Structure 1
Amino acid sequence: MKPIKEAYIVAATRSPVGKSGRGALRNTRPDDLLGYALKHVLTQVPTLDPAAIEDAIIGCAMPEAQQGLNIARQALLFGGLPNTVGGVTINRFCSSGLNAIAMAADRIRVGEADVMIAGGVESMSMVPMGGNTPSLSPSIFLSDENIGLAYGMGLTAEKVAQQWKVSREDQDAFALASHQKAIAAQTAGEFADELFSVKLANRSMDLARGEVALQWSEFSKDEGPRHDTSLAALGKLKSPFAYGGSVTAGNSSQTSDGAGALILASEDAIKTFGLTPLARFVSFAVRGVPPEIMGIGPKEAIPAVLKKAGLSLQDIDWIELNEAFAAQALAVIRDLQLNSSKVNPLGGAIALGHPLGATGALRAATALHALQRRNLRYAMVTMCVGMGMGAAGLFERC
């Protein structure tokens, strides 16, 4: 039996996140956007021969329409990768991007590959939450046992808020803090190392000349963080999910567009190509919870991933806890007694957005570069997952 090898992340990048429907990326196809991410991540490892990459695993929560037909393979070719590089698209909803990293790492750890690409992409402007034609099995409605599978995400957050007694005031305060941290991070240039700029084509009709005028602009900054929000403004919002509820658009994650990509390598590949690793992939865990309280998933996944790694919460220096909803994030923080100063120091999905299948890759890029800048050791990326799951991954700075 082959010994288990180590898998290292040697490059990590992400696009700026756009607001779905009205943001800068609304007209950018997700296969193109992912292609840009793949092209850029290769610039971080100029000594790597792209032909050495054996496969790419890409997460996407709604792999249909513009995101269908194995978007991983298409984007690889759009990104200029050789024809020899394979690609597969995977789906575990919000943890898809993180799952892609774990699966790529596993290929290296068992000795089946030396260089892999992992990432995620989602255009919620082009493919809505649930896809274009969602169709739930009638069996879900025939008994109470699985009825939680039919609940909208907002309703599951209301259930968590009720069961874990998370007040509306606390949710709004958490949301405001997310925006404030993200704005401070943007101002300080905290995201500079992980972001790449997206060139956008802007076309307008020149009536005098009778032709279409083409101008180019660059999109280089996350659109979600709001300078103008306040507790008073957040407090005026009504819950669209439950009568008298506490979960609102203001204390929930933003629907978004974005893509991220990472390159993973074995120790042999690092030596062969003279690469400098950012971090070692440590471990990954996923656990299930009742679908009607899906937001609490990280509560089960975090202890599981720590146990696999032989670590404790006190060992973790940086935690990217996806803010699907303030209610579920606060419930997890309180239940596990997480150190709030370590959770989303640069803001979370309430401010920065949540492009579903891309989020795991985006937040991994954020965490890995933060470890480098701040000379920290361990980072965790964790999130709840639709239909009742939680996922968590651990990384150690090299």
Structure 2
Amino acid sequence: MAQETVLAAGARTPFGDFGKSLREVPLTDLAAHAARASIARSGLKPGDFDHFVFSSTLFPDRDTLFGGRVVGIKAGLPEEVPALNVIRACGTGLQALISAGQQIKEGQSEVALAGGGENYSRMPHVVTTARYGTRRGPLTMEDQLDWAYRCPFSQEYMGETAENLAEEFQYEREPMDDWGLMSQQRAGAAIRSGFLARQIVPIEVPEGGGTRRFDTDEFPRTEVTREKLRQLKPAFRDGGKVTAGSSSGVTDGAAFLVVADRAAAERKGLAPEARIVDWTAVGVPPRIMGSGPVPAIRKLLDRQGLKVGDIDYFEINEAFAVVNLHAERQLGIPRDATNLYGGGISIGHPPGATGVRMTITAMHHLADTGGRYAVISMCLGGGQGMAMLIESLRR
């Protein structure tokens, strides 16, 4: 009999703007901080966990190649608890939850801690020709972060693939700007109401020879106006439609959730908040990778015999506003049931944490509103889409 997989005790760091508050914090320290908070919120002991799944797309520090093992031990898990690193482009954080759930369904695990993060601010430049020598002339340094933002096939920036999607399906700039404005306004409201603060565990960050408390997402531009967004130049293509105001932010941060077998969770005293019902991953043309959520969500709903109207809430990552406009138009997803607390455009998008942040947000929304189902979805660089269906256990 397949195990029922539940989620609980979400926690994340505030997300730092690129090159700002978190740039001096090694990724494994940042992730361990969020992981410890999730353990504490769960009420479980470190010895109650039997697996750790860590999600990160890039390796900014010496120890991040072994990130899962390092973060797990830094977070206080016993040395006997094994660790797994996962990468699936922009869906990396979501994949951590799914991979933990798969192990639970197979009976390989009962209680796991899953999540991850990024510290893109610490990504190094590299010399790819140095190991075997350069016969003459200067050595050229390359930016590893730049690698992450280019399509592996065309070498276009991901923003150019958003332009491709806008061109192919005739999306105009004004609705993209409007979505960007809405995202900022919703994030601002979620900060003021304390909704986002419920997810966040503050962290001490270096400053001026000492430290300061960092407790609020740093990227949102909550005072931006429609007029200011209209003035921004296209960011990726001359004459294009995609600007910095309609693109996700480069941010640093970490997020975790407890993923457990329901019977084991209740036996150990963990209060389940939601369950993973199902998930899907699909491939789409890399040149329009932003189309990914549409077939992923469609496949997910078809598998479960559900319709869009059966879903109480959607979190669809705002890699670019056109991604959300496309899902809205193609699937008929209502705007008043989507990304009500901001998204990648306003909060930012560290891929190792994003899917976890979105899942925590969806869980809290369902609990607050008495809703049943939520879908978490995103596009993935290289041409994929993912979607996960959760059901609230707090109704």
State the alpha-carbon separation in 1 of the partners of residues 313 and 2 from structure 2.
26
In structure 2, the partner of 1:142 is none
Structure 1 residues 216-295: aligned runs within 5 Å: 216-295=211-290
Structure 1 residues 140-289: aligned runs within 5 Å: 148-204=153-209, 214=210, 216-289=211-284
1:171 Cα shift?
0.6
Please provide the CA RMSD for this pair.
2.1
In structure 2, the partner of 1:86 is 82
1:240 Cα shift?
2.8
Gaps of 5+ in 2: 126-141
- SS of 2:113 mapped into structure 1: strand
* Contact 1:94–1:386 (8 Å) recurs in 2: yes
Deviations 1:361-381 (A, max 9, x none): 111111112211222111111
* Contact 2:177–2:230 (8 Å) recurs in 1: yes
Deviations 1:67-113 (A, max 9, x none): 73221111111112211111111111110000110111111112221
In structure 2, the partner of 1:393 is 388
- SS of 1:351 mapped into structure 2: coil
State the alpha-carbon separation in 1 of the partners of residues 308 and 62 from structure 2.
40
Q: Is 1:73 matched up with 2:69? A: yes
In structure 2, the partner of 1:33 is 30
State the alpha-carbon separation in 2 of the partners of residues 256 and 134 from structure 1.
14
Q: Using a 3 Å threshold, how does the CA distance of structure 1 residues 293 and 66 change in structure 2: closer, same or farther?
A: farther
Identity of counterpart residues, as a percentage?
35
State the alpha-carbon separation in 2 of the partners of residues 275 and 133 from structure 1.
39
Q: Is 1:325 matched up with 2:320? A: yes
- SS of 1:350 mapped into structure 2: coil
Give the AA of the match of 1:132.
Q
1:351 Cα shift?
0.5
**Under a length normalisation based on structure 1, what TM-score does the superposition of the two structures give?**
0.90
- SS of 1:186 mapped into structure 2: helix
* Contact 1:323–1:350 (8 Å) recurs in 2: yes
In structure 1, the partner of 2:4 is 6
Give the AA of the match of 2:120.
M
1:120 Cα shift?
1.9
1:53 Cα shift?
1.2
Tell me whether 380-389 or 357-366 shows the greater mean CA deviation: 357-366
Equivalent residues, number? 376
State the alpha-carbon separation in 2 of the partners of residues 67 and 353 from structure 1.
24
1:177 Cα shift?
0.5
**Under a length normalisation based on structure 2, what TM-score does the superposition of the two structures give?**
0.91
In structure 2, the partner of 1:109 is 105
Gaps of 5+ in 1: 137-145, 205-213
Tell me whether 112-121 or 61-70 shows the greater mean CA deviation: 61-70
1:14 Cα shift?
1.2
1:134 Cα shift?
7.2
State the alpha-carbon separation in 2 of the partners of residues 133 and 350 from structure 1.
19
Give the AA of the match of 1:113.
S
State the alpha-carbon separation in 1 of the partners of residues 65 and 155 from structure 2.
27
Deviations 1:243-268 (A, max 9, x none): 10011111100000010001111123
Q: Using a 3 Å threshold, how does the CA distance of structure 1 residues 117 and 310 change in structure 2: closer, same or farther?
A: farther
- SS of 1:284 mapped into structure 2: strand
State the alpha-carbon separation in 1 of the partners of residues 383 and 74 from structure 2.
35
